[in-house]
Every structure is written in C-alpha cells, then in structure tokens.
Amino acid sequence: MKASPFLFLLSITVLVSCKQYKKETASQKPIKTEVVLTKLWESDTLLKTCEAVRYDLKRDVIYVSNMGNVPTDAKDGDGTISVISSEGKTLTQYWVTNMHAPKGANYYNDKLYVADIDAMIKIDMTSGAVEKTIAVENAVFLNDVDIDSNGDVYITDSRDSKIYKLVNDEVSIWLDLEGFNPNGILVEKDRILIVSFSKGDFVAIDKKTKAQTLVATGILKGDGIVPIKQGYLISSWTGEVFFVDKNFPGDAATKILDTQEEKLNAADIGIIPNKNILLIPTFFGNKVVAYKIN
C-alpha cells in the first residue's frame, strides 16, 4: 500500500516534537546554586564567649548571647546579653546580666526567650527586664531555640539529645533523639529542622508524625541554621559555614567559609534577611562578624 503524504508529515512532526521535549526536559534539571560570602564588618571584642545572635527587625538591632568564662556549663552568673547595631557597633554591652551561660535566643510578641543551661529565660524586649525564669526539669545543656508562628518555643538539649517544647510557660519533652546530640534548630510550617553536633547530619522532622528525613550530611559540630531562598546556611562550631541546596536533598553540604586558621569559631549564626547579611558569633573570638550573602 502506498504511504500517505499526510501520515509521513505527521510522523516527522511527532519525531521532532519528541526530540524537542527531551531537550527541554534535560535543560530543566536543577543546577546547584553557588553561594559566596563577602565580609562586611566585625564588632569589637568585648563580647565574652559570644554563642548566639538574633536580629530584631522592629528595632534594627542584634542581640548577642555571651556565655562568659569557661567552663561554659558553670552556673557562675557571668553570662550576659549584649545589644549591637546592624552595623556592628556596641549599643548596650550589659543589656541583661546575672545569667549563667546563655546560648540560643529567639523572640515572639516582644519577649526574648534564651536557653540558659537548664532553664529558659523570658525577657521583656522593651525594658530588658527578666520577666520569668522557667526551669526545665532534667535538662543538661539547653542550646538552640526557635519559635513557631503560633508562639510555641522549641529548644534543643545537645548533651541529652532531647527537644523540648515550651507552651504558655510550661515545658514538656517534644522528642527524644537518643544519640543525635541536636544543636541548631529551625521551625518551619510543617516540619522542624535539626543539625546534629556529633553525627554531621541535618534532618527534617515532621511535626505530626515525627518521621525523620535526611536533608544533608557532612556538617560535623553543626551549630546554627538560617534559611535563605535557595536552601539553608549551617555553621560548624569549629569555624566553618556550609550551604545546603534545597533542590538536592540528602546530598553532602557545600563548605562556603572556613575561619579555622584564624582560630575563629562559628557558633549559633543569625541573619538580617532584608539585607542578605549573615551574622556569625565567633565564640572564643569574642566578636560578631557579618558577611554579605551573594
């Protein structure tokens, strides 16, 4: 039977369309984002063993948790909270005093919640007065803090491998992560992200089912987490910062900063989101260093 010219043209059209579809599909594969940090400023060195930073958009200031003298788990009353400007200038060195070893901090409705070994300190952000000290029974080393959109406070205990939840000034264990040594924490809408201090793993935990998903690997001594549009920046206490690309779940994190030769740690990092500025407390370096996120 003689082939129809119409069928011949149709087959050619389909073949060309398939090739074009394959070409377009291949071009749509995600490409890993490159993140570069450019140093902007550093504060003075009056911030004694600075462990955590949090930016307050409303007041355009940065709160810095200072653990004071070592050992860092001593109840010695020399811990403080300082306030510096978004350009790194010290505004109030001793904004809150008589703490022990303040670490992670975050705020909700003008209340700053700070982890202090085995207690949560609730501070009025308008006056700087300690409003309440909330004991966390059996806590060993409370570390990082993040707060849900409804005001629920989540706290990691990096030495006892637990995550606590603070609701209406009442504390309960939310999850036991035996052997994980959770440090940095970031609360999202449906999940909670945790980086391990001992294992190098960065995981997501479903709020409802508490099922765990591996997000990234290779971040030993993981400390703080900040979100950016392309994924997450995670600090390693030893003096490194890693980038986790959200389009490549489960991959090894990419190192984008290393200050170990300068003998500067990278503890619980923060971010000025509207300016794309990463804030790094340098722990024994006693200063905060800011980097532009490019």
Tokens of 17: 């369309």
Bigger pLDDT: 160 or 4?
Answer: 160
The rounded percent of the chain whose pLDDT value lies above 70 is 90
Q: Quick one: 249 exposed, middle or buried, by C-beta within 10 A (0-12, 13-18, 19+)? A: middle
- The answer to whether residue 141 scores a pLDDT higher than 70 is yes
In the sheet that 153-157 helps form, which strands lie side by side, from edge to edge? 142-147, 153-157, 162-167, 170-176
176-186 average pLDDT score:
97
User: pLDDT tens-digit profile of 23-36?
Assistant: 444 456 788 899 99
Query: What is the pLDDT at residue 28?
Result: 66
Is residue 22's pLDDT more than 70? no
Instruction: Round to whole Å and give the CA distance between 51 and 235.
Output: 12
AA letter at 162? K
Is pTM beyond 0.85? Reply is yes
Q: What tens digit of pLDDT does each residue of 206-217 get?
A: 999 999 999 999
Mapping DSSP to helix (H, G, I), strand (E, B) and coil, where does residue 188 land? coil
What lies within 8 Å, CB to CB, of 199 at 6+ separation is 180, 181, 220
Per-residue exposure over 46-78, b if at least 16 CB sit within 10 Å of its own CB, e if not: ebbbbbbbbbbeeeebbbbbbbbeeebeeeeeb
Q: Which tens digits make up the pLDDT trace of 100-118? A: 999 999 999 999 999 999 9
Q: At residue 192, does pLDDT exceed 60?
A: yes
Return the DSSP state at 193.
E
CATH architecture for the domain at 40-187+261-293: 6 Propeller (2.120)
pLDDT at residue 6 above 60?
Answer: no
Nearest Cα neighbor of 269 from 238, 218, 223 is 223
Instruction: Say how far apart CA 219 and CA 234 lie, in whole Å.
Output: 8
Distance CA 103, CA 51 (A): 6
Q: 3-state class of 218 per DSSP?
A: coil
